[in-house]
Amino acid sequence: METQKLYYQDPYLREFPATVLSCESAGEAWKVVLDQTAFYPEGGGQPADHGVLKTAGGEIAVTGVHEKNGAVVHTCAAPAEPGTVVTGVLDWARRFDHMQQHSGEHILSGILCRLYDCDNVGFHLGAEAVTIDYNADITWEQALAAERLANEAIWADRETEIFYPSPQELAALDYRSKKELTGQVRIVEFPEADRCACCGTHVERAGQAGLVKVLSCQKFREGVRMEILCGARALRYLSGTYDQARAVGQRLSVKPLEIQGAVERLEEELSAAKARMADLEQTAFAALAAGQAGRGDVLLFQSPMRPDSLRRLADAVGKSCGGLAAVFSGEGAKWSYALVRGDGGDIAPLVKELNETLHGRGGGRNGFAQGSVQAGRGEIEAFFRR
């Protein structure tokens, strides 16, 4: 029982009549086979089409499609009576998005593989982005160079060519394929960019892919994994990026393309401020430590501070007091702590008991420990009064 595949005859067909050949229950869903369909089944890295089947009684949601032994099986939310005529209606926004992503991937991959003598060894058209694996060490600069050429091919707007060569023609043809092919082979060609064996759906002209934007190019196995966006997805991403850059620029009183310089200046100012703060802390910590000189065991509470500052304060007090310096910073029922024993004695038993009693976590060695507790100030004070 084979299904006539209308998506190959006309990938822009959005609505079509069909006769239900079979319908079987599959848990909470139904598996429906039609005599013909424009719903593309999942395969080759491209997700399945979604949409509805219109019947005399209403609409049935199509939530998945796959091919089995030549039959295209539609996963439906409700049954459809065999022998009845239905009207299939595609979720066109979803289909066209897939066509843009798949076509843009072809154009970019064809250019990359030609320029850098590599193969596309993995392709996944995800809900957020397209990921492609190449078996060559492509640099970020090379990826951007290929992106520029891919967009030039898109702007040239050449017509997409799809054909089925004979075995003899195929043997003489230079084309991309991830594996050895048997039977009739479908070739998809974007002139001046790519020629590839592919069973997916594509735009009629390169210009309809819109644009290609490379988001990342990272080391993966023996090559790289690239993340890209095409068409409307790329436009949404770039528009969102611009809106964010514009908002940041307004906060920094610069134009969007001047943000990097402004951020670098802020980083320099922040670095200088941190250095100044460290100097001031050192002076304040020395004064606090001097006030605890010779007092033995000391318990101090401070407002929230960075872990490094907390450690340095405890260290200064520990050297001065001549006993255990227990310094807590925080407020309410959340406190960070640093414990220092000036003589370097074993502090582990105390830390274990502290954590068990005050719902804490942390540890250390050689007379020093650092961590946090979930307890109020009164509970901490009661623990050290024992």
The secondary structure of 175-189 as a DSSP string is -B-SS---SS--EEE
CATH number at residue 70: 2.40.30.130
User: Looking at the chain, which runs of residues are DSSP E strands?
Assistant: 4-5, 15-26, 29-34, 36-37, 51-55, 58-68, 71-76, 85-90, 120-125, 130-134, 161-163, 187-190, 194-197, 212-220, 223-230, 296-302, 322-331, 334-341, 361-365, 368-373
Q: Which residue, of 217, 239, 261, is where some domain finishes? A: 239
Number of structural domains found in the chain: 3
Return the amino acid letter for 345.
Answer: G
Return the amino acid letter for 320.
Answer: S
pLDDT beyond 90 at 379: yes
CATH number at residue 290: 3.10.310.40
Residue 280 is predicted with a pLDDT of 95
**Would you tell me how many other CB atoms lie within 10 Å of the CB of residue 189?**
21
Sheet holding 212-220, edge to edge: 120-125, 130-134, 223-230, 212-220
Residue 346 is predicted with a pLDDT of 86
Q: Which residue, of 90, 116, 150, is where some domain finishes? A: 90
Backbone angles phi, psi at 137, to 5 degrees: -85, 80
State whether 78 and 106 are in the same domain: no
pLDDT-derived band at 366 (thresholds 50, 70, 90) equals confident
**Are residues 46 and 40 in contact, defined by beta-carbon separation less than 8 angstroms?**
yes
State whether 81 and 172 are in the same domain: no
pLDDT tens string 312-359: 999 999 999 999 999 999 999 999 999 999 887 889 999 999 999 999
**Would you tell me how many other CB atoms lie within 10 Å of the CB of residue 380?**
22
**Are residues 12 and 98 in contact, defined by beta-carbon separation less than 8 angstroms?**
no
State whether 136 and 84 are in the same domain: no
Q: What range does the domain containing 297 cover?
A: 274-385
State whether 82 and 118 are in the same domain: no
What is the token pair recorded at 255? 């134009």
**Nearest-10 crossing angle of helices 307-321, 259-291:** 20
Residue 365 is predicted with a pLDDT of 83
State whether 102 and 222 are in the same domain: yes
Q: Residue 231: which region, alpha, beta or left (left: phi > 0; alpha: psi -120 to 50)? A: left
Mean pLDDT for the stretch of residues 92-105:
98
pLDDT tens string 281-313: 999 999 999 999 999 999 999 999 999 999 999
State whether 113 and 220 are in the same domain: yes
State whether 117 and 194 are in the same domain: yes
**Are residues 94 and 197 in contact, defined by beta-carbon separation less than 8 angstroms?**
no
What is the token pair recorded at 135? 């078996």
Backbone angles phi, psi at 335, to 5 degrees: -135, 140
**DSSP-derived secondary structure letter, 258:** G
The secondary structure of 87-151 as a DSSP string is EEEE-HHHHHHHHHHHHHHHHHHHHHHHHHT--EEEEEE-SS-EEEEESS---HHHHHHHHHHHH
∠ CA 314-317-319 to the nearest 5 degrees?
110
What is the token pair recorded at 228? 């890209």
pLDDT-derived band at 137 (thresholds 50, 70, 90) equals very high
Q: How far apart are CA 130 and CA 61, in angstroms?
A: 26
Return the amino acid letter for 347.
Answer: I
- 252 domain-assigned: no
Q: How far apart are CA 31 and CA 24, in angstroms?
A: 5
Residue 129 is predicted with a pLDDT of 96
**DSSP-derived secondary structure letter, 136:** S
Q: Which residue, of 74, 90, 106, is where some domain finishes? A: 90
pLDDT-derived band at 245 (thresholds 50, 70, 90) equals very high
**Would you tell me how many other CB atoms lie within 10 Å of the CB of residue 291?**
13
- 266 domain-assigned: no
CATH number at residue 129: 3.30.980.10
What is the token pair recorded at 148? 């520029």
Q: Residue 127: which region, alpha, beta or left (left: phi > 0; alpha: psi -120 to 50)? A: alpha
State whether 327 and 216 are in the same domain: no
What is the token pair recorded at 42? 């999942």
Q: How far apart are CA 188 and CA 46, in angstroms?
A: 15
Provide the greatest CA pair distance for the chain: 96
Does the reported pTM lie above 0.85? Answer: no
Q: How far apart are CA 144 and CA 237, in angstroms?
A: 17
Residue 161 is predicted with a pLDDT of 97
Which residue bears the tokens 């996944």?
124
Residue 237 is predicted with a pLDDT of 97
